[in-house]
Amino acid sequence: MRLELRGISKRFGDFWANRGINLTVEPGEIHALLGENGAGKSTLMNVLYGLYQPDEGQIILDGEAVKFTSPGDAMAAGIGMVHQHFMLVPVFTVAENVVLGNEPVKAAGLIDAKQARRLVTEISERFKFDIDPDAYVEDLPVGVQQRVEIIKALSRDAKILILDEPTAVLTPQETDELLTIMRELAAGGTSIVFITHKLREVRAVADRITVIRLGKVVGQANPSDSQTEMASMMVGRQVGLQAPKPAAGPGEVALKVGNLSLVSASGGGLLQDISFDVRAGEILAIAGVQGNGQTELVETLIGLREPTSGLIELNGESLAGRTVRQILDSGVGYVPEDRGRDGMVGGLAISENLVLDQFEYPPFGRYGALDYKAINSNADAQIKAFDVRVGSPNDPISTLSGGNAQKVIVARELSRELRLLVVANPTRGLDVGSIETVHAEILAERAKGVPVLLASTELDEITVLADRIAVMYRGRLVGIVPGDTSRDALGLMMAGVEQGKALAAVGAALPDQDDSVEGDLA
């Protein structure tokens, strides 16, 4: 099926998410939509999928203009989409998720379960997915959930498949498998729109590349173009190699974690016997596919969860079992991974968010009363120091863009003397400029001799920042390797392969030359 988008514009209030976008996807083509976070790729695809109505422009399928008022229309027209955040109901089985909205029914509206199962098995076998149709989605690893999404789209005879940042949750090896599947599908005549900001994947699989910046198409690229060229096009300015981080000068062991285990309330194991330490002036990265216990580890360190057993010591002082308040007060700074949920209170003012974990203490609070003079002058100083673009410090923080909100959070955490900095996915969803700022701030703390624990699902980010990398898999630590370990070895470890075997499998622990530019773009 041939897809053509003509002059698509979409705006939210004063903000143009898409403006006059033209795009053509030929049958059997893998068309990459390249752009950094916030460029408007997802909005465009949501327009195509009928989730949003375009303010202007036309969608043309095989020469005929169509209008989608709901995803149902788009699906009926043969468009399928695998969303960045999976659209699967966790408490449903695979089969139930696949047939939802398209159920085979028997009499009285009862679902034909046998037929539903067969649908899953058929497609699953065609692509060697090996998926149990009766498994509950919430019990499946993220990579498998993605395959369920693909089955769901294919079961509805999708002629055009939209994949929105599909590799964000995969190990490098799983990514390669996905790329292979994409090629197979394309060879079978399915058109694929592949949304990503990762240049290497684009070069590996795309037939054509359209680059989007600030809601507009800024040009086409060829898979043979160099990564630097594409990067400049995507970001809109020259993006050079990021200067290599200064050599590490690790000092004494500051954070010591020993045999840490965590069991959930329902008895499931979340963390299993985790031991590592972080030295002063060192960045230890926790790598792993999302959902392998990194979140739980960080939340345990920060006191949000109480460890079931094991020790956590900061400069010889035990932190295990302390409250968040006590841990913050002992000099731990924390930048949470989900800033909207854990990092800020959207309805409170920027100035209040800048003292969110300090307002009880002088100069901001005295004898239970708030000193708004001190809070406001602190806000002015921090906003200036971190170059946060705000209307007024008294506006709710929810009015800020992602990058600026993250700067507020980082500013808050770095505004005091730290003895340990814990950051989790600190650049998720940020544009390149903000990513550079945040990375520079983290490296600055390292230079000051602060030990840094960085949990990140982005290998690119890890290879830029980490001095050492600890890889997690299913709540366990697979191993700790040097910061320049190759992606392939890290990828194997992220899939649970032991350190020694992983290193042996890729030949040697050579640094991967190809990654430097992407690392910069994260």
Residues 19-48 that bind other proteins (CB under 8 A): 19-20, 37-43, 46
Using CB under 8 A, which of 1, 66, 135, 142 touches other proteins?
A: 142
Residues contacting other proteins: total by CB under 8 A: 139
CA quadruple 321, 327, 332, 335: dihedral sign = positive
281-292 b/e (C-beta count within 10 Å ≥ 16 → b): bbbbbbbbbbbb
For other proteins, the closer CB: 194 or 473: 473
C-alpha span between 148 and 95 (Å, rounded): 9
Q: Tell me the closest approach of the beta carbon of residue 428 to other proteins, in angstroms.
A: 7
Using CB under 8 A, which of 13, 63, 244, 246 touches other proteins?
A: 13
C-alpha span between 216 and 263 (Å, rounded): 48
Q: Which of residues 47-76 bind other proteins (CB under 8 A)?
A: 49, 51-53, 55-57, 70-73, 75-76
C-alpha span between 64 and 61 (Å, rounded): 5
Strands 317-318 and 468-473, sheet pairing: unpaired
Using CB under 8 A, which of 478, 489, 506, 521 touches other proteins?
A: 478
For other proteins, the closer CB: 187 or 265: 265
Q: Answer yes or no whether residue 111 interacts with other proteins by CB under 8 A.
A: yes
Of 244-252, 458-466, 470-478, 506-514, the window that binds other proteins (rule: CB under 8 A) is 470-478
Q: Which of residues 429-468 bind other proteins (CB under 8 A)?
A: 429-430
Q: Tell me the closest approach of the beta carbon of residue 227 to other proteins, in angstroms.
A: 23
Q: Which of residues 370-389 bind other proteins (CB under 8 A)?
A: 370, 372
C-alpha span between 275 and 283 (Å, rounded): 16
Of 201-209, 425-433, 437-445, 480-488, the window that binds other proteins (rule: CB under 8 A) is 425-433
Cα 317 to chain centroid distance, Å, stands at 33
Q: Which of residues 498-517 bind other proteins (CB under 8 A)?
A: 498, 501-502, 505
Q: Answer yes or no whether residue 363 interacts with other proteins by CB under 8 A.
A: no
Phi, psi of 331 (to 5 degrees): 100, 25
Q: Tell me the closest approach of the beta carbon of residue 298 to other proteins, in angstroms.
A: 10
C-alpha span between 321 and 306 (Å, rounded): 5
Using CB under 8 A, which of 22, 67, 90, 392 touches other proteins?
A: 90
C-alpha span between 506 and 233 (Å, rounded): 33
DSSP structural state of residue 245: P
Report the amino acid identity of residue 423. V
Q: Answer yes or no whether residue 253 interacts with other proteins by CB under 8 A.
A: no
Q: Tell me the closest approach of the beta carbon of residue 15 to other proteins, in angstroms.
A: 5
Q: Is 258 exposed, middle or buried (0-12, 13-18, 19+ CB in 10 A)?
A: middle
C-alpha span between 6 and 44 (Å, rounded): 12
Q: Answer yes or no whether residue 127 interacts with other proteins by CB under 8 A.
A: no
Query: Would you give the binding string for other proteins spanning residues 288-317, x where CB under 8 A is met?
Result: --xxxx-xx--x--x-xx--xx--------
Token representation of residue 177 = 């498998």
CB 16 within 8 A of CB 29: no
Question: How far from 427 is each of 4, 170, 409, 462, 466, CA to CA, in Å?
Answer: 33, 18, 12, 11, 14
Could you tell me if residue 72 is left (phi over 0), alpha (psi between -120 and 50 degrees) or otherwise beta?
Answer: alpha
Q: Tell me the closest approach of the beta carbon of residue 374 to other proteins, in angstroms.
A: 12
Query: Would you give the binding string for other proteins spanning residues 208-247, x where CB under 8 A is met?
Result: ----------------------------------------
Q: Answer yes or no whether residue 359 interacts with other proteins by CB under 8 A.
A: yes
Q: Answer yes or no whether residue 167 interacts with other proteins by CB under 8 A.
A: no
Of 218-226, 276-284, 320-328, 442-450, the window that binds other proteins (rule: CB under 8 A) is 320-328
For other proteins, the closer CB: 280 or 411: 411
Q: Answer yes or no whether residue 197 interacts with other proteins by CB under 8 A.
A: no
Q: Is 367 exposed, middle or buried (0-12, 13-18, 19+ CB in 10 A)?
A: exposed
Using CB under 8 A, which of 63, 64, 109, 513 touches other proteins?
A: 109
Q: Answer yes or no whether residue 189 interacts with other proteins by CB under 8 A.
A: no
Q: Tell me the closest approach of the beta carbon of residue 139 to other proteins, in angstroms.
A: 6
Cis, bond preceding 104 (omega within 30 deg of 0): no
Using CB under 8 A, which of 177, 342, 436, 515 touches other proteins?
A: 342
